[in-house]
Chain A
Amino acid sequence: MVEPEGIKVIDHSADVVVIGGGPAGLAAAISAKESGAEHVVLLDRNSWLGGILPQCIHDGFGVEETGTSMTGPEYAEKYIEMAEKQDIDIMKETMVLQFDKRREITAVNKNGLHKIKASAIVLAMGCREKTRWNVMIPGDRPSGIYTAGVAQAFINLYNIMPGKNVIILGSGDVGLIMARRLKFEGANVLGVVEILPYASGLPRNVVQCLEDYDIPLFLNHTVTCINGKERVEQVIIAQVDKKMNVISGTEKKIECDTFLLSLGLIPENELANNVGIEIDSITGGPTVNQYFETTLSGVFACGNCLQVYDTVDVLATDAKNAGKSAAKNLTIQKKDKKIITKVAPGRGVRYVVPQIISEPGKVHLTLRAEKPRESSVLHVIADDKELLKKRLLWANPANMIGVDIDIPLEVMTTTQNLEVMLGDC
């Protein structure tokens, strides 16, 4: 990179540099420090820490982790306090532009251009929302179209109402939570439109955000057109068949002034991509081993840039392990990683993280089912040998499944691929 004249270049070095100060970055930084890393730097482009949590004012955070239900801001403040006590070097309003294969980070803030040499890097950049253009909704381009998270920031952080009569496309958790939030603030929520035959958000949010307020959920429906000159005036919704093709003749006009999109999240990995880190095409996050190390040595990944989690509890647990691995990376002499076993999703499974096992021993796998099922059986297969068989009472794509498995050395020496499958009982 060419440095423009007159810009101050500040050189630093650190044991562990965490990129992103949301819940994952905070948990990873705290854990790295606790695991013995002396100098931990936490970088965030915002003026605040906690990432998306301060705008998630609803409760339900921390139930699995601590047993008590907290709101997003409360959960964030708990971790921010810990980070401040741990003497972590926090740099806010600092944007990372790139890092290279030798783990030298280039970042910029008001003070100038920073070059940070890191012994280990933890990626915790989070994710961003899919937009209208990710699903190509035809029609006009008026004002009044927002992603659900942007509307959430408007209402909960900046005290701005995005509109009065609202249609929401996508029944992800943010969309469901926004339906209730808009209702509380006096808007008419005319319905949530979902292309799948089931809601993509958590069951508790379908109950307490839609059913409680009689907000209609249009399953097997999509939006086929947005109409409006200056402002959104109406959207056209239509039913879809099993192959998700629009059934002609089922189109219905809904008059509204605001159209929110809750279409899912995309892990933010431009930095990882630019340096050549392998990205899993299904999760959208880096391919990692059981220590959350990416395909670039000394670079670890956690949080929603690794895979989109459904609760912050599980996200923080994994992020702590990633931070610990990053700290331990400093002391452990790297072995020649000759034996590598790949983990691949099989029948009924959308994806599995980690994608690589680089050492035998206990491994925690997280995976997502392809579709909702009542009782089913989880199989982990090495060639034709079954390593694990576990009955599950239920499986839902909205709830990530976690399973511990012991990988013996002989499996790793004889098998190159593990397959994780979900089958009927």
Chain B
Amino acid sequence: MIVERNITCIVCPIGCKILVRIDGTQLEIVEGNKCKRGIEYAKNEAFDPRRMLTTSVLVNGGEWPLVSVKSSKPVPKEKLFPILKEIKRTAVNAPVKSGQTIIKNVANTDISIVATKTVKNNKI
């Protein structure tokens, strides 16, 4: 069965509306993408939708109570909440450096959770 679907690209701020035709595991771009990145995005979105995950992790003894974190690569959409659950159980000790791995292989996804901010020790 051939299905037509509109996919809004989220790669850049333009947000192209891409019309695709899906036939089983085959995908054909009909129209709408203004650049090549849209083709890649539409394919992934149709068969294996993924999102970058950004949230925060508790910090002990830091100048801030939290450090912002991101997934090392986009995570499958259905894994977002299991990963968030594991992140909520996690705390790190200050100092934290931006780029530092906070959790490896989070929720058995082979994806890491990485700090996106530098948090120094609390001065007190």
B52 nearest CB neighbor, chain A only? A59
Digitize A67-83: 1 where CB-to-B-CB distance is under 8 Å, 0 elsewhere. Answer: 00111111001000000
Decide: A71 and B54 in contact? CB cutoff 8 A. Answer: yes
Q: In the complex, which residues of chain B have a beta carbon less than 8 angstroms from the beta carbon of A155?
A: 56
CA A391 – CA B90 in complex, angstroms?
52
Digitize A199-237: 1 where CB-to-B-CB distance is under 8 Å, 0 elsewhere. Answer: 000111011100010000000000000000000000000
Which of A73, A159, A310 sits near B13, CB closer than 8 Å?
Answer: A310
Task: Assess whether A25 is interfacial by the CB under 8 Å rule.
Answer: no
Task: Assess whether A278 is interfacial by the CB under 8 Å rule.
Answer: no
Decide: B15 and A73 in contact? CB cutoff 8 A. Answer: no
Which of A64, A71, A202, A212 sits near B116, CB closer than 8 Å?
Answer: A71
CA A402 – CA B52 in complex, angstroms?
28
CA A159 – CA B116 in complex, angstroms?
16
Decide: B10 and A74 in contact? CB cutoff 8 A. Answer: no
Decide: B68 and A202 in contact? CB cutoff 8 A. Answer: no
Decide: A156 and B10 in contact? CB cutoff 8 A. Answer: no
Task: Assess whether A399 is interfacial by the CB under 8 Å rule.
Answer: yes
Query: What is the size category of the interface that chain B forms with chain A?
Result: 20 to 34
Q: In the complex, which residues of chain A have a beta carbon less than 8 angstroms from the beta carbon of B69?
A: 57
Q: In the complex, which residues of chain B have a beta carbon less than 8 angstroms from the beta carbon of A71?
A: 54, 68, 70, 116
Decide: A202 and B52 in contact? CB cutoff 8 A. Answer: no
A400 nearest CB neighbor, chain B only? B13
Digitize B8-33: 1 where CB-to-A-CB distance is under 8 Å, 0 elsewhere. Answer: 11111111010000000000000000
Decide: A73 and B8 in contact? CB cutoff 8 A. Answer: no
Q: In the complex, which residues of chain B have a beta carbon less than 8 angstroms from the beta carbon of A157?
A: 64, 66
Compute the total of residue contacts between A and B using a CB distance below 8 Å: 79
Decide: A57 and B52 in contact? CB cutoff 8 A. Answer: no
Task: Assess whether A275 is interfacial by the CB under 8 Å rule.
Answer: no
Which of A156, A206, A212, A393 sits near B56, CB closer than 8 Å?
Answer: A156
Q: In the complex, which residues of chain B have a beta carbon less than 8 angstroms from the beta carbon of A394?
A: 14
Supplied contacts A57-B56, A74-B117, A207-B10, 10 more A-B pairs, CB within 8 Å = A54-B68, A60-B13, A71-B54, A77-B98, A157-B64, A184-B55, A203-B17, A204-B8, A204-B11, A206-B8
Sampled A-B contacts (27; CB under 8 Å): A57-B54, A58-B54, A59-B54, A60-B13, A63-B12, A64-B12, A71-B54, A71-B70, A73-B98, A77-B117, A155-B56, A156-B66, A158-B66, A159-B56, A159-B65, A184-B84, A202-B15, A203-B8, A203-B10, A204-B10, A204-B13, A206-B8, A208-B10, A208-B51, A212-B51, A311-B13, A394-B14
Query: CB within 8 Å of A: which residues of B?
Result: 8-15, 17, 34, 51-52, 54-56, 58, 64-66, 68-70, 77, 84, 98, 116-118
